[in-house]
Amino acid sequence: MVVRHGRSTGGVASGDLDVLSAEERRRVAAFRDPLRSVHYATAHAEVRRCLAGILGCDPARIRFGRRPCAGCGRTGHGRPYISRPRTRWEFSLSRSGPHWVCAAAEGVRVGVDLERVRPMDVSSLTPTILSAGERRHLGGVPPEFRAAEFIRCWTRKEAVVKASGIGIEAELGAIDVDPGRAGARVNHRVTGCEFDTWSVTDLPARAGLMSAIAVPACS
């Protein structure tokens, strides 16, 4: 397992553009906000370099694809994979503003999520997103810490969803990530996925951020 994280600074570097695909460069140019261009270019270039170090190839020669979503069958939001060179390595990427995190594992499904902790009214969000047990946990947390605990639940759920490959079709309220524990075993069954139990762990993150990683519990 390899986990890398970082943040973008300054403008879009020519060295970053050089390793991106034509589609990625098109995305960089399409952003109206220059900062979003920087964040996207930096994260995707660094992920390519990380994977190139693992695979022993030129980062610019890596090609990505998306597997069909386990929920709806469409490829627009399915699990990303490395289509070239052929490899057993799986990876997952998450970005939040200038920050990014990437995880890679050989022959193992993996999902990561990264989110900024921000003030929010969690009471309006919890019924469809949190399980009954998670709502009870959140109710026992002092009000000033509830937003952070909600984000902890969210990042864990997103990590599981990304690893399972169901994407936006997931019923998040049915996924209980046991936020009171440092690590959790999560039951999440998806048609077309051979795994139904996931190991979820919080990742170290900068102040003001939360991150989590999920892999099959048997790995």
DSSP string over 111-161: EEEEEE-----GGGTHHHHS-HHHHHHHHTS-GGGHHHHHHHHHHHHHHHH
Residue 10: the pLDDT is 83
Task: Confirm whether 2-111 and 114-216 share one CATH topology.
Answer: yes
Query: What type of residue is 138?
Result: L
Backbone angles phi, psi at 119, to 5 degrees: -60, 140
Residue 172: the pLDDT is 85
Return the top range by mean pLDDT from 11-15, 188-192, 213-217.
213-217
As a whole number of angstroms, the distance between CA 48 and CA 163 comes to 19
- Compute the average pLDDT of residues 159-188: 82
Second-level CATH architecture of 2-111: Alpha-Beta Complex (3.90)
**3-class state of residue 194 by DSSP:** coil
As a whole number of angstroms, the distance between CA 19 and CA 155 comes to 29
Q: In the predicted model, is pLDDT for residue 186 greater than 90?
A: no
As a whole number of angstroms, the distance between CA 178 and CA 156 comes to 9
- Per-residue pLDDT tens for 36-88? 999 999 999 999 999 999 999 999 999 999 988 777 777 777 889 999 999 99
- Per-residue pLDDT tens for 126-160? 778 899 899 999 999 999 999 999 999 999 999 99
As a whole number of angstroms, the distance between CA 44 and CA 20 comes to 7
Domains of the chain, by residue range, sit at: 2-111, 114-216
Second-level CATH architecture of 114-216: Alpha-Beta Complex (3.90)
Q: Give pTM, 2 decimals.
A: 0.92
Tokens 């639940």 sit on residue: 153
Nearest to 160, CA basis, from 117, 216, 122: 216
Q: In what helix (H) or strand (E) does residue 36 lie, and over which residues does it extend?
A: helix 34-55
Residue 190: the pLDDT is 66
Residue 120: the pLDDT is 87
